Amino acid sequence: DFFVPNNSAVIGQPIVEIGLPDDCTIILINRNDELIVPSGSSELKAGDTILVIVKKKNFDDMRRILSTMKKTE
């Protein structure tokens, strides 16, 4: 499981545009205790917990992507 923090740069982006590592698939989003099977157009929101299939070698990349902060303007 991975948690989407409040300031993550991935918030509001369609999953297909996030730039997930190779061999990485988000298979479930838990949003306020509602389970969502995502599609490529699904967007992540702050506070989501996501279930991801990811190879061990890409685990840290996935964590880095989710923890990258939004740029402030």
Which pLDDT value is given to residue 73?
Answer: 58
Token pair for 41: 């157009």
Which pLDDT value is given to residue 69?
Answer: 86
Residue 63 forms part of a structural domain: yes
Query: 10 lies in which domain range?
Result: 2-67
Residue 72 forms part of a structural domain: no
Q: What is the mean pLDDT of residues 32-58?
A: 96
Of 33, 65, 61, the residue nearest 49 (C-alpha): 33
Q: What is the mean pLDDT of residues 12-36?
A: 94
Which pLDDT value is given to residue 54?
Answer: 92
Distance CA 35, CA 41 (A): 16
How many domains does the chain fold into? Answer: 1
Percent of the chain whose pLDDT exceeds 70: 97
